[in-house]
Structure 1
Amino acid sequence: MSSTDLPESSTAAAPLPLVSAVRVAEGEQLRTVSLPGLTLNVRSRPPAQQGLPPALYVHGLGGSSQNWSALMPLLDGVVDSEALDLPGFGDSPPPDDGNYSVTGHARAVIRHLDAAGRGPVHLFGNSLGGAVSTRVAAVRPDLVRTLTLVSPALPELRVQKTAIPTGLLAIPGVASLFAKLSRDWTAEQRTRGVTGLCYGDPGRVSEEGFRAAVEEMERRLELPYFWDAMTRSARGIVDAYTLGGQHGLWKQAERVLAPTLLVYGGRDQLVSFRMARKASAAFRDSRLLALPDAGHVAMMEYPEEVAEAFLGLVQTHAPLSAHPPAQAASPAEATAHADPHTETHTETRS
């Protein structure tokens, strides 16, 4: 079957990177941070004023720091924003040790924050980045002021059918097989598949934004480590799902002390909306923003609503935001996730 014969549902199921409209949005700056065995690309916005509390944004599987470019300017004057490309994604090269596990990514975030001395931060995470941020908040509470999770990839017993193709990447050989089967797909087809999978309404992507996303797709598919980073990171999520005991992600969610904002989309095809109720019960000090028409990347589809909910979180917990919340976990541990479909609303739980 040629690429032109592929049905829309086939391309929509393709587990490929979600890209944003532009490489560098107006007002953004890029820099490279070099750490032993690790190089990270960091996207930032010059703070509107000195003394603002820092914020750090962590993207999802196949994404990049660009995924936060719609949200960050809405928080100018409130936080000092930085978004990083996880190792092997965006403009960050693979880690020297090849560790793409959730713990490996969490270690990269922790090392960056420790080296920069930016903690405690308002920590944001989407999808894989939500699992990573949950782990960071659990093992290093001194680094986290508040936690905002957009469709966090926390373990589900009953995975949605639309999420299965992404999970299959974790199986050895599947990524190479998929690469062969999809070799005739154009970057435009792949990009339409990704937006169809990740957006509640793909029509919210402008024509200009879509063309820029196609160009970014072409660039990233040329990277020699692209499929390896995707495969190993997907495997890392699956491994984290099967980890039990005190190191399980749900157990770690219960240990998070930071005030937490949970954002779930009613049209999310990768993280089930029903998980919102479980997450609200797991995080001890949480509030829920339910967006019935949003997909997997609410911060890209509905950045104004996410920004407003975050501002409400900060205003409610202003005293907590000014100080580090509790003592860090031991170094060994630090290295070693309701159904309100009817309307957009927030719920607060303390």
Structure 2
Amino acid sequence: MEFAQPGHTWVMKRASLVPEFTVPTPEQLPERWPGREVELDGSVAFVRDTPSGRPGAEPALYIHGLGGSSTNWTDLAGILAARTDGVALDGQAIDLPGFGYSGRARSYSLDAMANHIIRWIEHSDRGPVHLLGNSMGGAASVKAAAKRPDLVRTLTLISPAMPFLDPRRSLQGRVVPFLLLPNVTRLVGRRMAAMDPEELAAMVIDSCYADPTRYPEQRRLEAIEEARLRHQVPWYAEAYVGSLRGLVSSFLRAYLPGEGSIWRSAARITAPTLVIAGRQDKLVDIRTAPQVARLIPDSRLMMLEGVGHVAQMEVPRSVARAVFGLLDEVGAAGEPSVAVQVQGTVRSRVARVRMAS
């Protein structure tokens, strides 16, 4: 299947990296950033502030993926906030509705998630923000950036859960048929309740990391604590199943005519965009990230060898180098960037993307 934008010439660049020695190196792993509850449209939204403390730092918003939480951004947000030479980010990481410490939602569709992101930016009055999204959070960020370009200064997508139709390309593909069962939420809830938190955390780490041995012990203990939290949240299974159904629905609609296609949303994005993916991703087809980067008008692509689904957790310094490269490029306002080009080719072409099927 093809999706075309006749008459438009897009430019996709290779991602730019700042020199490694310019990236802040924390002396030890940071603790999870402090969080607070905020009432938003009659529901509880939970946010963790990742302040820079540096004058002139620019606002950022971090969006986690399916089954994740705001803590997925602890390491990367700390690095991006600590920069002393160049643009630093003053960040907020939110728990999407139904996840982490946020309240339940009436809808877990991708459009509902995108509207929540938009409402948060409006409520916080910090826009336009540098928007960073992982997995489902990346797909929702695509929708949000297309709907409200005035609220997004740059967009960074890490393994965005954009459409692909081969279930063999994802560990979650085998559970998709069960979404048709009317009592699947109850079944998922029972399954999760029966799992020991340590077992649940290990399963998540193994599916998200290319090399689970990279997972620090401090982070493993925090993951076990989060898994224990999920046992205590009565609507977690509802949120997980509802969000997965929303993703599958967006995948199917993407290949149908009409404005509901998320690929059409991607083609409308005006913000400078960075797309990052790990070549050992077990959850999203690795062919997806290049397709996304080819379709977004002003995009950069970085594929990471030996990295899985959550590059911001597995190799946060590598991701930070690319994000800083994007920030320097945007902040330069036409002046030569201080970033180092990873691979020197820049390709222009009519945006014509063949979708994986």
Shorter-chain TM-score tier: 0.7 to 0.9
Cα displacement (A) at 1:179: 4.0
Residue 103 of structure 1 corresponds to: 111
Residue 152 of structure 2 corresponds to: 144
Going from structure 1 to structure 2, the CA distance change for 1:37 and 1:309 (only over 3 Å counts) comes to same
Cα displacement (A) at 1:187: 1.6
Residue 341 of structure 1 corresponds to: none
Residue 286 of structure 2 corresponds to: 273
Partners of 1:346 and 1:151 lie apart in 2 by 23
Cα displacement (A) at 1:277: 2.3
2:175 equivalent to 1:162: no
1:146-194 CA-partner distances (Å, limit 9, x unpaired): 1000010111122315231453563333343344456543222221111
Residue 239 of structure 1 corresponds to: 249
Partners of 2:30 and 2:298 lie apart in 1 by 34
2:121 equivalent to 1:113: yes
What percentage of aligned pairs have identical amino acids?
40
Going from structure 1 to structure 2, the CA distance change for 1:176 and 1:137 (only over 3 Å counts) comes to same
Structure 1 stretch displaced more, 190-199 or 175-184? 175-184
- For structure 1, the residue ranges without an aligned partner over 5 or more in a row are 1-23, 322-343
Partners of 1:191 and 1:346 lie apart in 2 by 40
Going from structure 1 to structure 2, the CA distance change for 1:258 and 1:347 (only over 3 Å counts) comes to farther
- For structure 2, the residue ranges without an aligned partner over 5 or more in a row are 1-28, 335-341, 349-357
Partners of 1:272 and 1:211 lie apart in 2 by 29
Residue 17 of structure 2 corresponds to: none
Residue 42 of structure 2 corresponds to: 37
2:316 equivalent to 1:303: yes
Residue 202 of structure 1 corresponds to: 212
1:255-300 CA-partner distances (Å, limit 9, x unpaired): 1011110011111011111112211211111111111111110000
Secondary structure in 2 matching 1:122: strand
* Letter matched to residue 162 of structure 2: L
**Counterparts of residues 68-79 of structure 1 (less than 5 Å):** 68-76=73-81, 77=83, 78-79=88-89
Partners of 2:224 and 2:73 lie apart in 1 by 18
Residue 52 of structure 2 corresponds to: 47
Secondary structure in 1 matching 2:274: strand
8 Å Cα contact 2:33/2:71 also seen in 1 = no
Partners of 2:284 and 2:343 lie apart in 1 by 19
Secondary structure in 2 matching 1:83: strand
Going from structure 1 to structure 2, the CA distance change for 1:100 and 1:178 (only over 3 Å counts) comes to closer
Residue 200 of structure 2 corresponds to: 190
Partners of 1:175 and 1:36 lie apart in 2 by 25
2:265 equivalent to 1:252: yes
Partners of 1:239 and 1:286 lie apart in 2 by 26
Cα displacement (A) at 1:209: 2.3
* Letter matched to residue 29 of structure 1: P
Larger RCO (alpha carbons 8 Å, 6+ apart): 2
Secondary structure in 1 matching 2:155: strand
Partners of 2:221 and 2:345 lie apart in 1 by 37
Going from structure 1 to structure 2, the CA distance change for 1:162 and 1:114 (only over 3 Å counts) comes to same
**TM-score with structure 2 length normalisation?**
0.79
* Letter matched to residue 172 of structure 2: A
The number of residues matched between the two structures is 303
Residue 337 of structure 1 corresponds to: none
Going from structure 1 to structure 2, the CA distance change for 1:320 and 1:31 (only over 3 Å counts) comes to farther
Residue 66 of structure 1 corresponds to: 71
Partners of 1:85 and 1:219 lie apart in 2 by 13
Residue 14 of structure 2 corresponds to: none
Residue 283 of structure 1 corresponds to: 296
Partners of 2:137 and 2:128 lie apart in 1 by 17
2:270 equivalent to 1:263: no
Secondary structure in 2 matching 1:246: coil
Structure 1 stretch displaced more, 201-210 or 63-72? 201-210
**Of residues 220, 224, 240 in structure 2, which corresponds to 1:214?**
224
Going from structure 1 to structure 2, the CA distance change for 1:348 and 1:73 (only over 3 Å counts) comes to farther
Partners of 1:99 and 1:346 lie apart in 2 by 44
Residue 314 of structure 1 corresponds to: 327
**TM-score with structure 1 length normalisation?**
0.81
Cα displacement (A) at 1:115: 1.5
Structure 1 stretch displaced more, 307-316 or 200-209? 200-209
Cα displacement (A) at 1:136: 0.5
TM-align CA RMSD: 2.2
* Letter matched to residue 213 of structure 1: A
